[in-house]
Amino acid sequence: MQIKETLAIVSLIVAPTIAFAQGNSNSGASQNTPGHKMQDKGSKGDSPGASGYAPGHEMQDKGSKTGHPGASGYAPGHDK
């Protein structure tokens, strides 16, 4: 009887944890990554692949965003 109780308690803990993890796996800026931008717009100029959309490259082209040090203002998921 004790094994069944233990399994019941474990399943009550594990099931919501798995459901929460799956529900949050696609949140954030996942569609705003350099690779996604390249898929939508193609490669930039003389940069191969998605590197032209990297936060550092965008900062070099446009300069830092006000209130954000370096390229952090261009990073996917960074508060804008």
Q: How distant is the alpha carbon of residue 24 from its chain centre?
A: 11
- Predicted structure pTM score: 0.42
Q: Which residue reads 């191969």 in tokens?
A: 48
Query: What average pLDDT score do residues 51-77 get?
Result: 78
Q: Using 50, 70 and 90 to split pLDDT, how confident is the model at 13? A: confident
pLDDT for residue 23 is more than 70: no
The pLDDT of residue 27 is 55
Q: Which residue reads 């998605």 in tokens?
A: 50
Q: How far is residue 21's CA from residue 8's CA, in Å, rounded to a whole number?
A: 20
Q: Using 50, 70 and 90 to split pLDDT, how confident is the model at 28? A: low
pLDDT for residue 54 is more than 70: yes
